[in-house]
Chain A
Amino acid sequence: MKPKERSGDKLSITVGEFFEKAQEALSLELVAGGDGMDNRIVEAAINRPGLALTGFYEYFAWKRIQTFGYAEHKYLSSLAVVARDERLKEFFCSKIPCVVLARNKKITAEMRKLADEFNVPVLRTKMVTKYFMNAATILMENLMAPTLKVQGTMIEFMGIGVLIEGKSGMGKSDTALSLVKKGAALVSDDITKLRVDSLSRALLASPVELTRYHMEIKGVGIIHVPSLFGVAAVRSEKVLNLIVTLCNKGDIDDSVSLDGEKLTREILGVDVRNVKIAVVPGRDIANVVEVATLDYKLKMLGHDAAKELDDRLIDVMSGGRGVYR
C-alpha cells in the first residue's frame, strides 16, 4: 500500500514560520518590518552579507536569511553617513527575506525606516554571531527538510525503528501494543511524520504533537501509553529502518518469500526495507513482526540467513561438504 502523500519537498518557508519556530531557541525578537512576515526564505543556509554592504551584488545570496555580525556592524559604522544610507538602501531593496542582528545590536533609525519601507523584517538575537549561525543553520535545515505523513504505527524495537502500516482494521495498533508489552517503545500510533535528516540522510519518524503517546485500541478506546506501561514504553523520535505492511491474504503473494525477496520502498528519496505480512485469523502478527525485526537486525550485522543457506546448498550440489563459510 502506498503511503498517503501530503507534503513533499518544501520549497520555502515564510519569515513568520521561521520566527515562530525559532523565536525561543534562538532568542529572537522582532524589531522592525513586521509587515514582511510573509516574505519567503527560499534557501536554508544563512548568509553574512559583508560583501553586499560594500556594494558588490554580482553574486549575492539574497534568498537567504541575512545576518549582521560584528564585522557588518563595524563596517557600516566606518562609513560616512551618506554612503552608509545608500548602501543600506541598496541592501534592503534587494528582495532579501529578512535580516537578523546578532549580539543584541541596536537597530539604527535609518535601518528601521528602510525595514518598514521595503517590508523586510529585522530580527534581533542575544546570541553571538557564530553560535547563531550554527544553530540557525541546523534549525533551517530541519524546517525545510522534506516531510511526509504516512498512515502507520511506529515503534522502536530492539534498537530497530519499525513502521507497521496497513489498512485500517488490519491490527496495526494491536500488533504495536503486543510489541510494547515485549519491550518496544511507541513512537506514534496510526499517523507518523517522516522527515529526512539533513546530516545522515536517514528518515526520522515522529508523532503528531497533539496525539502523541496515545493509542486507539478498538473496543477499549483511547489509552495513554506511558501512564499504563511507563515512560520506557514511549520514544519521541526514531530512525525508520523497516516497514512492515500488513495485508489481506490474496493481496500479496507470500507463498514464496525467501527473504521478503529483498523488497525496498523509496520514501522521500530514501530506500527502506519493506516486509509484507498476510494477516490471517489466528496468526500471531506481533510474533511475525518480532521475527522480521530480529532478522533485519541480523542482516545489519552482516548475516543473511537465506543467502547463507543458499550458498551452502549450491556448495553441496556441486560436490562440496556444505560447510558454512
Chain B
Amino acid sequence: MEEMITREFEILNQYGIHARPAALFVKTASRFDAEIIVEKGDNRVSGKSIMGLMTLEASKGSMLKITVEGEDGEEALAEIGALIEGKFDED
C-alpha cells in the first residue's frame, strides 16, 4: 500500500479559496497521479474538483487538512503547499 501523508495549512489570502484559487489548486493537483483529499472540519472533498473545493468555504484563517496518497504524493503536497503559502498570488 502507498504511503499516506497528511499536512495542515492555514489559508492566508484575503478572500479565501474562491473560484480563482480553487481553479489554481485543481490545476496543480491534476498534474499528479496521487489521490488528493482536502478536508475542512467535517467536509471532505477531492483536491481535483473545483466545485468540491468551493463548497469548503475556506476563508482566510481557516485550516485545511490535505492528505495525499500515491507515488508523487509528496511532490504534489509540496507544490500545493507552496500555492497556499504564496497566497495563490493574490493580495
- Interface on A for B, CB 8 Å cutoff? 253, 255-258, 306-307, 309-310, 313-314, 316-318
**Chain B 1-43: CB-based contact to A (< 8 A → 1; otherwise 0):** 0000000000000011011100110110010000000000000
Q: Please determine whether A318 and B59 come into contact, CB atoms closer than 8 angstroms.
A: yes
A316 cross-chain contacts in B, Cβ below 8 A: 57
Known contacts A255-B27, A255-B48; is-contact A317 B19 (Cβ 8 Å): no
- In the complex, which of the residues A255, A256, A258, A313 contacts B57, with contact meaning CB atoms closer than 8 Å? A313
B16 cross-chain contacts in A, Cβ below 8 A: 314, 317
**Alpha-carbon distance between A314 and B90 when the two chains are bound, in angstroms:** 14
A306 cross-chain contacts in B, Cβ below 8 A: 19
- In the complex, which of the residues B18, B27, B59 contacts A256, with contact meaning CB atoms closer than 8 Å? B27
**Alpha-carbon distance between A116 and B30 when the two chains are bound, in angstroms:** 74
Q: Please determine whether A256 and B58 come into contact, CB atoms closer than 8 angstroms.
A: no
Could you jot down 14 A-B contacts, CB within 8 Å?
Answer: A255-B26, A256-B23, A256-B50, A257-B23, A258-B19, A258-B23, A258-B50, A306-B19, A307-B19, A309-B54, A310-B19, A313-B19, A314-B15, A317-B18
**Alpha-carbon distance between A310 and B19 when the two chains are bound, in angstroms:** 5
Give A258 Cβ to nearest chain B Cβ, in Å: 5
**Alpha-carbon distance between A307 and B30 when the two chains are bound, in angstroms:** 23
Give B34 Cβ to nearest chain A Cβ, in Å: 15
**Alpha-carbon distance between A256 and B23 when the two chains are bound, in angstroms:** 5
User: Which residues 39-70 of B have a CB within 8 angstroms of A?
Assistant: 48, 50, 54, 57-60
Instruction: Using A255-B30, A309-B54, A313-B54 as known contacts, list a sample of 7 further A-B pairs with CB atoms less than 8 Å apart, ordered by residue number in A.
Output: A256-B30, A257-B23, A310-B20, A313-B57, A314-B15, A316-B57, A317-B59
B59 cross-chain contacts in A, Cβ below 8 A: 317-318
A-B contact count (CB 8 A): 40
**Alpha-carbon distance between A255 and B57 when the two chains are bound, in angstroms:** 21
Give B48 Cβ to nearest chain A Cβ, in Å: 7
**Alpha-carbon distance between A250 and B20 when the two chains are bound, in angstroms:** 22
**Alpha-carbon distance between A146 and B15 when the two chains are bound, in angstroms:** 45
Q: Please determine whether B50 and A313 come into contact, CB atoms closer than 8 angstroms.
A: no
Which A residue sits closest to B29, measured CB to CB?
A: A255
**Alpha-carbon distance between A76 and B16 when the two chains are bound, in angstroms:** 80
Give B89 Cβ to nearest chain A Cβ, in Å: 15
A257 cross-chain contacts in B, Cβ below 8 A: 23
Give A320 Cβ to nearest chain B Cβ, in Å: 11
Q: Please determine whether B19 and A253 come into contact, CB atoms closer than 8 angstroms.
A: no
Residue of B16, B19, B27, B50 with most partner-chain A CB within 10 A = B19
Known contacts A256-B50, A258-B19, A258-B50; is-contact A317 B27 (Cβ 8 Å): no
Which B residue sits closest to A319, measured CB to CB?
A: B59
**Alpha-carbon distance between A195 and B16 when the two chains are bound, in angstroms:** 45
**Alpha-carbon distance between A318 and B58 when the two chains are bound, in angstroms:** 10
Q: Please determine whether B26 and A317 come into contact, CB atoms closer than 8 angstroms.
A: no
Q: Please determine whether B15 and A317 come into contact, CB atoms closer than 8 angstroms.
A: yes
- In the complex, which of the residues B20, B24, B48, B57 contacts A317, with contact meaning CB atoms closer than 8 Å? B57
**Alpha-carbon distance between A314 and B57 when the two chains are bound, in angstroms:** 8
A255 cross-chain contacts in B, Cβ below 8 A: 26-27, 30, 48
**Alpha-carbon distance between A310 and B57 when the two chains are bound, in angstroms:** 11
**Alpha-carbon distance between A265 and B45 when the two chains are bound, in angstroms:** 35
